[in-house]
Structures are given as structure tokens and as C-alpha cells.
Amino acid sequence: MATVNDNLATTLQGLGLTETPKAKKDNDKLGQSEFLELMITQLKTQDPFKPMENGDFIAQMAQFSSVTGLAELQQSFDKLATSLQSNQALQASSLVGRSVMVPSAIGTLPQGGAMAGAIDLPASSGSVALIIKDSTGQLMRRLELGTQYAGDVYFSWDGTTTSGDPARPGRYYIGAEAQIDGESVALETLVNTSVESVTLGRGGQGMMLNLADGSVADFADVREIK
């Protein structure tokens, strides 16, 4: 009497899954209709003295449904990722030529202009100050901003040094501090700069903005667009 394995082999052959190498290659992926047909044929041709257990049948159905569902879910995620990346690329490219505010400890003083940005203040303070130094670490200017509420505290430096002389155009180190709950706290600074170009992310990397001052910023770090 034929065994279950013999019946399964016969069924596979009848479905064309073992006829030729080409046919086998074409049927590497078992579709839902083929799977159901295979299961029905297997039930019809099973050994009546050794029938398939209900639990085995249900387990096979559950496994097939799970694999099919995961494959469809993966396809959906891939489409979503592609769509999000395209939208991000479109948004990033629209920033070329515009001014953005990004976290940075270095600001650029333009010729005849001012260096502008903001200080990220986590809590209200009665004393907030911006500290500007040159490349050698020499203090150029300390701007006392007084009492400020929590949030972004905007600043602008026209290039005038502590001595009253104009500073040379170029890049300067900036820092900020505030008195919070009786303690002096160092704060994060942000600067305004224009976007020259955009580098599209690859291999899971995000969009990168190439800024006019020569630095590079992650698109996700942009705090403000002007």
C-alpha cells in the first residue's frame, strides 16, 4: 500500500513540480492555489490506515499563511521605505540655496554681515551668555543676553570685538552658558548657514546637507528653515 510520502511524491509529479529542471525552476515558489491543491490531493491519496493528523494539517496551513504574510509585509515595508526616501530627497533638494539652522559649535562671520544663530535653553534662566573665540582660543566677544525663557534664544553678532574693533570675516568657535538652579550650565548652540548642495543617502544613511561654510549636516538635524 502506498505511503504518505509516496502519495506526496506522486502529487508533486502530477502538479509538474518534478518533471524537468526547467519546470522545477519555474515552480520554486509555491503559490497559494498550488499549495491548496497539493494539500487537497494529499488528503485524498493518504493512507487510510495512517491518516494525516489534524494538528499536522493545521500546522502546515498556519506555516504557509505565516510565510506568505511575512513576504507581503516585507514588500509593503520596502515600498514604504522607497516612498519615504523619495519624499525626503525632494524635501532636501528644495533646501539648496536656502538658509537653515543646525547644531554647531562653529559659526561663520561673513564679509560686512553678522553671524546669527540660537542657543538651546532647556529651562528659564536669569543669565544667558554667548561666548565667541577665534581659532587660537582667544576671547573675541561675550554677549550677555540676560534673562531668557526656555527654548531657542536667538542671537546675532555683528563682528565687533570686546575692544570695539571689527573682527575679520571667517569661522569662529561659539559656546553658551546659563545660570540654571544656581549652577552654570553649558548649552548647545545652533548657527544659520546656507545650503549649497545635497548628498543623497545610501545604504540606510540619511540625507546630508553640504553647507556654505564647508561643513556637512544631517538633514534630520535641521531645526529651522528660512
Res. 7: pLDDT tops 60: no
Residues in Cβ contact with 132 at an 8 Å cutoff, skipping those fewer than 6 apart: 107, 115, 139, 140, 141, 142, 143, 157, 172, 173, 174
Yes or no: say if 18 and 29 are a contact pair by the CB < 8 Å rule.
Answer: no
Residues in Cβ contact with 31 at an 8 Å cutoff, skipping those fewer than 6 apart: none
Neighbours of 125 (CB within 10 A): 23
- Greater confidence, 214 or 18? 214
The residues spanned by each domain of the chain are: 4-92, 99-193
Give the cell for residue 136: 587660537
pTM: 0.60
Highest mean pLDDT: which range of 9-23, 37-51, 80-94, 147-161: 147-161
Yes or no: say if 44 and 57 are a contact pair by the CB < 8 Å rule.
Answer: no
| Nearest alpha carbon to residue 125 among 154, 153, 147, 143 | 147
Calpha distance 78→76 (Å, rounded): 5
Res. 55: pLDDT tops 70: no
Largest CA distance in the chain: 106
Split at pLDDT 50, 70, 90, the class of 20 is very low
Calpha distance 138→131 (Å, rounded): 11
Helix residue spans in 15-53 (DSSP H):
21-26, 32-44
Burial of 78 (0-12, 13-18, 19+ CB in 10 A): exposed
Residues in Cβ contact with 74 at an 8 Å cutoff, skipping those fewer than 6 apart: none
User: What is the pLDDT averaged over residues 118-143?
Assistant: 96
Match domain 99-193 to its CATH number in 2.40.30.170, 3.40.50.1000, 2.60.40.4070, 3.40.50.1370.
Answer: 2.60.40.4070
User: What are 178-204's pLDDT values in tens digits?
Assistant: 999 999 999 999 999 999 988 876 655
